[in-house]
A and B are shown apart, each in its own frame.
Chain A
Amino acid sequence: MRQVIHCKLSKNLLGIFLILLLAFSTTLSAQEGDPAKGKTLFNANCAACHQLDKKMTGPALRNVETRLSNDQGLDKAWLYAWIRNSPGLIKSGDAYANKIYNEYNGTAMTAFPQLSDEDLNNILAYTAEVKEEPVATQTTATADTGSDSAISNELILGALGILFLLLASGLYVVNKTLRRFAEAKNIELAETSKRRPLWKAFVQNQFLVLVTAIFLLLSSAYFVYGYLMQIGIDQGYQPVQPIHFSHKIHAGDNAIDCNYCHASARVSKTSGIPSLNVCMNCHKSIYEYKGETSVEYSKEFYDAEIKKLYAAAGWDDAAQQYTGDSKPVKWIRIHNLPDFVYFNHSQHVSVAGIECQTCHGPVQEMEIASQFSSLTMGWCINCHRTTNVKVEDNAYYTKIHEELSKKYGVDKLTAAQMGGLECGKCHY
C-alpha cells in the first residue's frame, strides 16, 4: 500500500511540475513574441517607412529594443507609447522622442493604436532576429539555363570553325608536300587539258549573254528598289539608352500599366517619356533588384542601373533625401514620325481605345525596347481601312455615325469611312 501511495504522490508531483513548466513556458513565449507573425505585421504596418538594416523614411529597426535600452535607457513601455501615439509622446516633452522627431525633419510617425501588446511583442521579436548573411556559393551555382545553351551553341560553332580551318590547312600542306615529292623524283604532273575555257564559250554565245544581262539588270533593279524603299524606315531600331530600362521587368513581370509611366498618352499628342519623379515613386523604396537574372543581366548590373537613376535624380539613398543636384537623362527617342505628319496619342488611346501593343508590339517582353512597326503611311492607312470606329459611350460620334452609315449602307464605319484617309487629317 505505502508503495502505491508513494507512486501516486510522485506522479502528482510530476504532473504539477509539468503544468508549471508549461505555464512558465507559455508566459515566456508571450514575452518573447513570435518572429514569424511579427514579420507579417511588420510588412503590413511598418515596412512603408522602416527596414531592418537600412534607413528609410524612418530609422533602421534591427535590435531596436536592445539598442534603446542600452544606449538611451528606455524600456519597452516607452516603445509601446511611441508606437501607439508618437505625436502624444512628442507633445508630452519626452527628450528622446523630440530628438528623434527633429532628426527626421519633423516627419511624424503614424499612430498605431490598434496594435495589441502581443502584436508589438511579435514585431519586436522579428526585429531582434539575427541578420541572415547572404550565401555566396549559391549565386554562382544557379546560372540561367537559357544563357547556358547560348554559350554552348557559340562554343560548338567556334570548335567547328577551328576544325574546318585545321582541315583546310592540312589539305593545303599535304598537297604542297606531295608536289615537292613529285618534283624531287622528276615525275611529270598531269597538266590540265587545253580545252577551250568555259568563259570563252559563254562570251561567244550571244543569246546566253543577252539573257544573263537582262537577268542581272532586273535583279539589281529589284535590290536597288528595295534599298531605296527602306530609307527613312526605322523598324527594329533599338538604341542603347543612357540608363538600361527593362520594359520586361516593369510592364511584364510587375504588370505596371503602360499609362502609369507614359501618363500623357491618355491626354495629349505625345505619349511622354516619364520624368524621373515617376521612377522615384517606386524606386525610393526599391533600391535593389531581386528578380530573376542571367549572366548578361545580373543583379549587380541592375543594381548599378538603379544607382545611375539615383545619381540622375539627385537622390541620396543613404541619407534618404534629395541632394538637389540632379542631371537630366538624355533618353534616345525610338519612334520618330516625320515633322510633316500629325499623330495624336490621346485620339488613339482614349477615344479609339486601341491597345498600346497594337502599334508598339509586345513591349512587355522587350528587355531593350525597339521599334516594332514600320510607321509608314501605308501601315497607317491599312489599319484605318480595317478598324471600326469605337462609337460606344461616345455621344460625339452618334449623329455623324448615323448619317454616314446611311450614306455608305453599312452598320459599322471604319476609320477610313469616317475620313481617316483624307490627306488633311494628318498632313497640314
Chain B
Amino acid sequence: MNYMKSLIKITGLLVVIISLASCKKDTAPNYQFMPNMYLPVGYETYGEAAFKDGIEAQLTVDGSIARGHSLFEYENSTEGYQLAKETLKNPLDSTQINMVKTKVLYDIYCGICHGTKGDGQGNLVTREKILGVPRYDDAGRAINEGSIYHTIYYGKNAMGSYASQLNEKERWEVVSYVLKLKADLEK
C-alpha cells in the first residue's frame, strides 16, 4: 500500500512539472527586463501612432512630393500611356547606369515573371502560376523607353505598379536594361 501511495505521489509531481514546462509558448513574446529601455519613444516604422486611423505609415498629402521623389506628369490611363510612349525620354545616359547592378535589380523584381532573358518565361510562368507574360520583342506592343517607364510606374493590365519597390533612378536603370534585353531578343 505504501508503494502504491508513493507511486501516486510521483505521478502527481510529474504532471505538475510537465504542465509547468508546457507553459512556455512560442506564440507569445518573452518577458523583458525593464521594457522602458526596450520600447522606442519616437514613432517606429510600421508602428502605431496618434493619427486618426492609428497607423504610423501615412500617405502623403495630395499634391505634395516626398523628398527624393519627383513629379510624374503622365496620367494612369491609356492616353497617358500613349503620351509617355511618344514623349517620355530616359534622363540617364549610359555612363550613369551600372548594368551589372541593374541586372540584379531586374532579376529580383522583373525576372520572376518576365524571365531573366525577357522572353516571358520567368519562374512563376514556367510553374504556371501567372500566365500570358509577353516577350519584350512582342510586335503588337512595340514597347519603348517611355512606355516601359509608364508601365513600371503605374502597372498595366495584370501587372502591378513597382514604384514602391524601385526608386526613380532604379526605374530608369531597369528601363535601359529591358531595352537591352529587347535588342538581344530581336537579334
Binding site for B on A (CB under 8 A): 42-50, 56-57, 106-108, 110-114, 172, 175, 192, 230-234, 236-240, 254-257, 259-260, 263, 267, 269-270, 272-273, 275, 277-278, 280-282, 284-286, 290, 328, 331, 333, 336, 338-340, 370
Contact = CB atoms under 8 A, between A and B. Distances in A.
A46 B161 CA distance: 20
Given A56-B158, A57-B157, A339-B40, 13 more contacts: A43-B131, A44-B132, A48-B132, A57-B158, A175-B4, A231-B31, A236-B26, A237-B26, A255-B123, A275-B164, A286-B129, A286-B130, A340-B37
11 contacts: A48-B133, A234-B30, A254-B129, A256-B112, A260-B108, A269-B45, A272-B45, A275-B164, A282-B129, A282-B160, A284-B160
Given A254-B123, A275-B164, A285-B130, A239 B46 contact: no
Contacts of A45: 132, 134
Contacts of A338: 37-38
B27 interface: yes
A216 B47 CA distance: 46
A315 to B, nearest CB: 11
A48 B157 contact: yes
B46 A333 contact: yes
B77 interface: yes
Contacts of A106: 77-78
B38 A233 contact: no
A370 to B, nearest CB: 7
Contacts of B107: 257
A114 B142 CA distance: 12
Contacts of A336: 29, 38
B141 interface: yes
Given A175-B4, A270-B45, A338-B38, A240 B27 contact: yes
B41 interface: yes
A107 B78 contact: yes
B140 interface: yes
Interface residues of B, number: 52
A232 B141 contact: no
Interface in B115-143: 120, 123-124, 127-134, 138-141
Interface string B159-177: 1111011110000000000
Mostly, the A contact residues are loop
A230 B24 CA distance: 12
A307 B93 CA distance: 45
A254 B130 CA distance: 11
Nearest to A286: B129
A254 B30 CA distance: 33
B165 to A, nearest CB: 4
Nearest to B110: A260
B112 A257 contact: yes
B164 A231 contact: no
B27 A114 contact: no
A108 B141 CA distance: 11
A280 B160 contact: yes
B78 A231 contact: no
B108 to A, nearest CB: 4
A270 B127 CA distance: 31
Nearest to B162: A281
A107 B157 contact: yes
Contacts of A240: 27
A275 B131 CA distance: 24
A328 B144 CA distance: 37
Contacts of B161: 277, 281
B62 interface: no
A-B pairs, 8 with minimum CB distance: A48-B132, A47-B132, A47-B131, A281-B160, A263-B165, A338-B38, A111-B140, A339-B40
A282 B127 CA distance: 13
B179 to A, nearest CB: 19
B55 to A, nearest CB: 6
A348 to B, nearest CB: 16
Interface string B14-47: 0000000000001111111100011111000110
